Amino acid sequence: MDTYKVYKAIIPSEISAVKFAVKETLQYIQNCSCIDESTLFELKVILNELIINAIKHGNSYDSSKSVKICAEFSAKGYVTISVEDEGEGYDFNCYKADSGEIYNVNEICEFPECGRGILIVRELCNSLRYNEKGNAVYVRKKITGD
């Protein structure tokens, strides 16, 4: 990826920090790119879900741990967002293997309670992947035309 702008932040592993972190990251994205309201809302949902998951599941609400957030812009109109926690990691292969079901995104009530946020994020972005340990998630989303 031909990265040309990067935003980085580290926040405490506290739910009270989520709103500010999402707002700051979105503000940076808006300042760097012409982005429509619909895409901005989708990015807000993505960031909120990923950061809360990192705090809740990754760091187990341990306020002595932190969450790293990064947004990288490419010349091709994409943003890659990464969220990394200090936890033991998430077995994303186990989750994929357990659930052979395909869920209709229009029927959110049918989604399993655990993992619903990642299913929503997966639908809102162009790609989603984890690092090998499972404590960092990377999403890629098209934010400008071309």
Over residues 110-115, mean pLDDT: 55
CA distance 54 to 109: 23
97-108 pLDDT, tens digit each: 344 444 444 454
CA dihedral in degrees (97, 107, 113, 119; nearest 10)?
Answer: 50
CA dihedral in degrees (57, 63, 64, 69; nearest 10)?
Answer: 60
Taking alpha carbons only, the member of 2, 144, 145, 130 closest to residue 72 is 2
Please, what are the domains in the chain? 3-142 (3.30.565.10)
Does the pLDDT value for residue 90 go beyond 80?
Answer: no
31-85 pLDDT, tens digit each: 887 889 999 999 999 999 999 999 999 999 999 999 999 999 887 889 999 999 9
Taking alpha carbons only, the member of 138, 7, 46, 14 closest to residue 83 is 138
Sign of CA dihedral 73, 74, 79, 80: negative
CA distance 23 to 27: 6
**Residue 10, Cα to own-chain centre: how many angstroms?**
14
Is the pTM above the cut of 0.85? no
